[in-house]
Amino acid sequence: MKMFHFSGHDIPRADIINARVSCSYADLTLFVDIELEGGTTMSLSQDDSLVFMEDFIKRIRDEHGTD
C-alpha cells in the first residue's frame, strides 16, 4: 500500500477521497487540501503540496500512458 508522509503523518493513498488545489501563478504558490475517509480535511504545506501534486501527476501519466 502506498503511503504519503506529510508533516509527520503517514496517510494511505487509498484514504484520500478528494483534493482541492489553490495556486497563485503571480506568487508562485501551490497549496493542497486533502479530504480523507471519515471526513477529515488536511491542509498540506507548500512542500508537501508539491510532493502530492508530483505523485498525482505521475499517477495520471502512468494510468493514461502519456509522457
DSSP secondary structure string, 7-43?
TTEEEEGGGEEEEEEEEETTTTEEEEEEEETTS-EEE
Q: Is the pTM of this model over 0.95?
A: no
Which residues, listed in sequence order, are joined to residue 12 by a DSSP beta bridge? 3
| Domain count for the chain | 1
pLDDT tens by residue, 13-60: 899 999 999 999 999 999 999 999 999 999 999 999 999 999 889 989
- For 48, the domain range is 3-64
